[in-house]
Structure 1
Amino acid sequence: MGISTVTDPNVPESRGSENQPPPAWGPGYTDPSAGFPPPPAGPPGPGPAQGAPGYGQPQHGAPGYGQPQYGQPQYGQPQYGQPQYGQPGGAPGYRPPPVQRGIVPLRPLGLGEVLDGAFRAIRANPAVMFGISAVVITLTVLLDSLVQWYLFSDLGQLMMLEVEPDAEVVLGELVGLAGGSTLSMLVSIIATTLLTGILILSVSRSVIGQRISVAAAWQRTLPRILPLLGLTLLVILLLFLVPAVVIVGAVLLFAAEAWAAAFGLMVLGSIASIVWMAWIAVRTLLSTAALMLEEQGVLGGFRRGWELSRGSFWRLLGYYLLVSMVVGVVASIIVFPAAMIPAMLQLDPLGDPVAIASSAVATIIASVLTTPFSAAVFALLYIDLRIRREGLDVELARAAENAATDASGTTRT
């Protein structure tokens, strides 16, 4: 049966499927509750059905392919991904029209389609993409701002004393500042990891024309918090492995007064650290999506993202740099005016409540606008690579058709 093309992303939510994993995320998909099966070694070659003539072989006593019986064609309507009647083997360059039930066509995606799909994903489910993002980011920034105000206000008062403060008091304040900053960083990592997982779920549903609710998104993500955090910490450790070795080596060389060797190590080590961090960031770019959508563990999600990125490093790096540039420009446009307020009012940018509040508001707005976009782009890149390498578009087309059928049946009843 032919599959029609629908480009409207605002497809009504399908009932009764919110608490199940996104359908058809694995080749050979059978049951949403059964988890994500690993991709097969290779798809079986097409063959004729039992009792039916082979491709290009006429039936006994009947006209062959391309020779219809009188008044009636021999072959029926072509299936998805198969050549049409009258095109044996498919015409040169022939491709069936791509199915689109959701935000992107179910075929390999170009740059424009990925970026457009990211905006469509936000419009398709703003309650999750913007609503949950606003809640999580606001709570995180407020906590960070309170810690900053508490720590820097005390440190600023010490610095403004007419007499030199006691060294132990200053050291205690610095230790508290380091501890508070570490706590804020950990909370930010946890919140960002959780939010990214939720946004990826929403994008995956929007691809097949479904919309996941806020409650269902939370319910699906909460059991994955520990694997998400484990994967995030693993990636962070790998990212800073080479820089840490360089720093330790430079400190040891400085302690041994080997100045030339220390400076040489710092220069070469800085270059090596940049290359290493870029390589790790790109190779693990799709690991979070694999962990969430395939319900993998920490190591399983890491390996899956590593495998999918193999052979696509430069393409993924280009997307990563482009998204980073877009996010940076948008954030700068929003944050820069807020950063000018303390300068115009001659306020302490680190300890004054007005300066901290203005910076917090700007950070919240910038993060709420940019985080859903970047998460949607990386989720679509994961889907695109699986379509290119594993034929995921066939399974997604089937899932989209089933979702549309279920929705229409629910509407009729």
Structure 2
Amino acid sequence: MSYTTGPGPYPGQPNPQWGGNWPPPFPPPPKPGVIPLHPLAVGEILGGAFTTFRRYAKPLIGVMLAVQAIGIMIMVAAIGATVAVTQDRFAALFDLPPGVDPDGADVAALFLSFVPAGVLLLVVVTLGAAMIAALCPAVVQEAVVGRPTTFVAMWSRSWSRLPSVLGTLVLTGLIVGGPILVLYAVCVPLIVMSSEGSGPPAALALLIPGVLLYMPVAVWLMTRFGFAPAVAVCEGLGPVASLRRSSRLVNGGWWRVFGISMLGSFVAGAIGYAIQLPFGFVGMVSLFPALSAGSEGNADPEQILVGLLVYAIAVLVGGALSALFQYGFPSLVNALLYVDLRMRQENLADALIAAAGAAPAHATAAGPGPTATGAGPAAGAAPADAPVPAPPPAAEPDER
């Protein structure tokens, strides 16, 4: 009997192709949209958010700009109406003879006249934040399956889910900020009384440690309820059910959710600063000649006014463009993280693959054919305009 020495084929098998490209044991996961449809790594979440912002820039930025424009017009109209109504109170404060101080009652009356405008500002900002919080999950819902969308579709989708998303934001604010408001309501009057000698001097010592001790609790609650807007948009739940659902999704993975969310916010802040920086530089360059002339005693009022106007426009435009990315990108990261958790916990990937018309993720290389990468519709797949399926929430875990 003879034996072969060294590497060689067994009888009936082909020669090995050393150094060749071996076929992968499993096909890559389908990627019909901005992310591969499997549990995501951190880089895939951040990359998917960048890709979503780039591919869906028109509906995403369009809706955000429309929300900001409507809010600005409402506030300009409210402040203009308030100033027009309070002309007499302005005259009572500023049109005074030399050496005459304004009356305290006039100051208080002018301040109170702007309280309605301040309340309206709070309402407008809250509604705008809710609209953007509803917009980003709606865009991600289309982006993960590669469906195109339009400004009108995203505006309609965000508007239809605005009440539920607004409810989640208000409830989250009350739950997270309620203890802080109670602490301030108790301690601030005591601090004022202690400054007058009629209250306990230890009130300030109670306020600062109380706020510092509560901050970790507030961060923990914000992270647990952070997916409530995405749940309200993608699953159609109400505010309370969305908060409970978000808490269940985060359960067992709080640190990962917190870390990726903070990383997304840090990246958004850094890129937003980079966007705003050249606008600030242009504004300073336009203002520098006027400042130089003023320091030499040759200031031209018109030159200074033009320089200030250009500087203000540059800063406002840079701030507006920066705010679009700083507000939108973390919300996109959060929405993709929500999709990732559902793919990990509820096998959402198969439902997304069916909605996108791709092949099942567990198919072998010989099975699906060209639909493994989403090139063609699978048998029984949902039509292209069907909504992304939202399976019912998972059952509560057994507490025993």
Q: Normalized against structure 2, the TM-score is what?
A: 0.68
Q: How does 1:95-110 map to 2 (within 5 A)?
A: 97-110=28-41
What corresponds to 2:47 in structure 1?
116
> Equivalent pairs: percent with the same residue?
25
1:360 and 1:291 map into 2 onto residues whose CA distance is 33
What corresponds to 1:138 in structure 2?
69
Q: Does 1:290 align with 2:231?
A: yes
What corresponds to 2:256 in structure 1?
315
What corresponds to 2:60 in structure 1?
129
The answer (yes or no) to whether the contact 1:101–1:209 under 8 Å persists in 2 is yes
Per-residue deviation at 1:317? Answer: 1.5
Deviations 1:38-78 (A, max 9, x none): xxxxxxxxxxxxxxxxxxxxxxxxxxxxxxxxxxxxxxxxx
2:257 and 2:141 map into 1 onto residues whose CA distance is 19
Q: Does 1:363 align with 2:319?
A: yes
2:73 and 2:261 map into 1 onto residues whose CA distance is 28
Q: Does 1:258 align with 2:200?
A: yes
1:268 pairs, out of 199, 209, 214, with 209
What SS does the corresponding residue of 1:405 show, helix, strand or coil?
coil
1:152 and 1:319 map into 2 onto residues whose CA distance is 45
What SS does the corresponding residue of 1:259 show, helix, strand or coil?
coil
Aligned residues: 312
Per-residue deviation at 1:298? Answer: 1.1
The answer (yes or no) to whether the contact 1:137–1:367 under 8 Å persists in 2 is no
1:272 and 1:96 map into 2 onto residues whose CA distance is 50
2:51 and 2:144 map into 1 onto residues whose CA distance is 10
What corresponds to 2:241 in structure 1?
300
Instruction: Please tell me the residue identity of whatever aligns with 1:396.
Output: L
Q: Does 1:277 align with 2:214?
A: no
Per-residue deviation at 1:238? Answer: 1.4
What SS does the corresponding residue of 2:161 show, helix, strand or coil?
helix
Higher-helix-fraction structure: 2
Distance 1:235 1:374, change over 3 A: same
Instruction: Please tell me the residue identity of whatever aligns with 2:150.
Output: S
Per-residue deviation at 1:166? Answer: 2.1
2:107 and 2:133 map into 1 onto residues whose CA distance is 38
1:405 pairs, out of 367, 372, 377, with 377
What corresponds to 2:12 in structure 1?
none
1:178 and 1:164 map into 2 onto residues whose CA distance is 23
Q: Does 1:236 align with 2:173?
A: yes
Per-residue deviation at 1:300? Answer: 1.1
Per-residue deviation at 1:129? Answer: 1.4
2:268 pairs, out of 327, 349, 365, with 327
- Worse overlay, 149-158 or 169-178: 149-158
2:237 and 2:221 map into 1 onto residues whose CA distance is 19
Q: Normalized against structure 1, the TM-score is what?
A: 0.66
1:156 and 1:102 map into 2 onto residues whose CA distance is 58
Distance 1:251 1:196, change over 3 A: closer
1:145 and 1:360 map into 2 onto residues whose CA distance is 15
What corresponds to 1:173 in structure 2?
110
What corresponds to 1:10 in structure 2?
none
Distance 1:360 1:382, change over 3 A: same
Of the two structures, which has the highest relative contact order with CA contacts closer than 8 Å and spacing of 6 or more?
1
Instruction: Please tell me the residue identity of whatever aligns with 1:224.
Output: R
Deviations 1:20-53 (A, max 9, x none): xxxxxxxxxxxxxxxxxxxxxxxxxxxxxxxxxx
What corresponds to 1:80 in structure 2?
none
1:156 and 1:259 map into 2 onto residues whose CA distance is 39
The answer (yes or no) to whether the contact 1:200–1:379 under 8 Å persists in 2 is yes
Per-residue deviation at 1:226? Answer: 1.5
Per-residue deviation at 1:144? Answer: 4.3
Distance 1:367 1:100, change over 3 A: same
Per-residue deviation at 1:96? Answer: 5.2
CA RMSD of aligned residues (A): 3.6
Per-residue deviation at 1:193? Answer: 0.9
Deviations 1:147-168 (A, max 9, x none): 6688799899846964322212
1:377 and 1:117 map into 2 onto residues whose CA distance is 8
What corresponds to 1:44 in structure 2?
none
Per-residue deviation at 1:354? Answer: 7.9
The answer (yes or no) to whether the contact 1:291–1:297 under 8 Å persists in 2 is yes
What corresponds to 2:335 in structure 1?
379
Unaligned segments of structure 1, at least 5 residues: 1-92
Instruction: Please tell me the residue identity of whatever aligns with 1:364.
Output: A
2:78 and 2:287 map into 1 onto residues whose CA distance is 22
